[in-house]
Amino acid sequence: MCIFAIIMGVKIGNIDVGEFPLLLAPMEDVSDPPFRALCKQNGADVMYTEFISSEGLIRHADRSTMKLDIYDFERPIGIQIFGYNIESMRQATEICAAAKPEFIDINFGCPVKKVAKKGAGAGILLDIPKMVAMTKEIVNATNLPVTVKTRLGWDENTKYIVDVAERLQDVGIQALSIHGRTRKQMYKGDADWTLIGDVKNNPRMHIPIFGNGDINTPEKVAMVKDRYGVDGVMIGRASIGYPWIFNEIKHYLKTGEHLAPPTIADRVIACKQHLKHSIEWKGQILGIAEMKRHYTNYFKGIPHFKDYRIKMVTSDSPEEVHALLDKVAVEFAEFNF
């Protein structure tokens, strides 16, 4: 049976996502199609859209409906939705299904105050019965597999994730991603993988369990895989400006050795590709404006990069940015990471 499972890989519903899939976390203002393209190219197995407001979708808000754009090269992909109203979430599920993703993902983990205070995202962790009822309605609203991303609990005193996981599985979800922090922690402190392991090793659980939180090195992935038995890991902040992390992890798990880090030339190529796709998807004005948050991330650790960063973020010309990137490639060609 174990041999068969290894051959077939992990499945979300009937979708094979690999033997030990690496998932790109849904991140607002980050995991858009241009960024997802780079992560897929560099080894990510499963994509998620940025999280999308159910209220925005049912009101056909441009910012929400634009996030439904998905492309064949990035499959399998899940569209992630969030909201506090069960009927709005049900309707949003139907809208998302029409965009033909591989699955629908529910965000029960976003800790941001403006989301959580309305009872959406991690805010629903204060009302577990509603969380379960909402999930059941979404599962019933689509033939696509439904997955959930959540946290351990609202705070230190409400870490009910083992029970919550069972209840969500009982109403039909096909996979669960768990961030190893509470909502109160936000992104502070160390992620606690012990409870993620408890969910995975609960004999009642039969759906894939993916772990998330502080996954920033291949060694960390190898450790949580071996120690907690998770079916895969979800990578968020460590991929920002560093999409190479996915292939680096895969290589390390396979060989026990590290790939050479990307060179300055590699980083310049990736940055240019990201800018190109950003402009193609969003138009020149918005594409350049939203790319400005990424420049520093691609060249993190390079000394005396500030002058280039200032010139890039103040430029509205793709030609000028390309010229600056070419200068970066030459000036820092010998820099070793």
Q: What is the CATH number of the domain that holds 121?
A: 3.20.20.70
- How many folded domains does the chain comprise? 2
Domain final residue, candidates 255, 289, 309: 255
Is residue 217's pLDDT more than 90?
A: yes
Average pLDDT over residues 174-185: 97
Residues 12 and 139 grouped into a single domain = yes
Q: What angle do CA 324, 330, 336 make, to 5 degrees?
A: 115
What end-to-end distance do the CA atoms of the chain give, in Å?
Answer: 44
Does 103 share its domain with 216? Answer: yes
Whether residues 91 and 118 fall in one domain = yes
Phi/psi of residue 22, nearest 5 degrees: -105, 120
**In the chain, what's the furthest Cα-to-Cα distance?**
58
110 is catalytic: yes
Q: What pLDDT is stored for residue 310 in this prediction?
A: 95
87 shares its domain with 174:
yes
Looking at residue 304, what is its pLDDT?
86
Q: Are residues 109 and 161 in the same domain?
A: yes
Same domain? For 188 and 275 the reply is no
In a domain, residue 298? The reply is yes
CB 123 within 8 A of CB 117: yes
Tokens of 303: 């000394």
* Residue 2: predicted pLDDT: 46
Domain residues for 144? 2-255
What would the pLDDT profile of 251-266 be if each residue is shown by its tens digit? 999 999 999 999 999 9
Report pLDDT for 6: 44
Whether the pLDDT of residue 5 is over 50: the answer is no
Same domain for 311 and 175? no
Interacting residues of 239 by C-beta distance below 8 A, sequence separation 6+: 24, 25, 39, 44, 245, 246
Looking at residue 4, its pLDDT comes to 43
320 and 210 part of one domain: no
Q: What is the pLDDT of residue 7?
A: 52
Does 337 map to a domain? no
Q: Confirm whether 216 is domain-assigned.
A: yes
> pLDDT tens digits, residue range 317-333?
999 999 999 999 999 98
Q: What is the pLDDT of residue 337?
A: 75
Per-residue confidence band for 303, with pLDDT thresholds at 50, 70 and 90: confident
> From the CB of residue 323, how many other CB atoms can be counted at a distance below 10 Å?
13
* Domain annotation covers residue 336: no
Same-domain pairing of 300 and 242: no
Query: What mean pLDDT value characterizes the chain?
Result: 94
**2, 39, 96, 110: the active-site residue:** 110
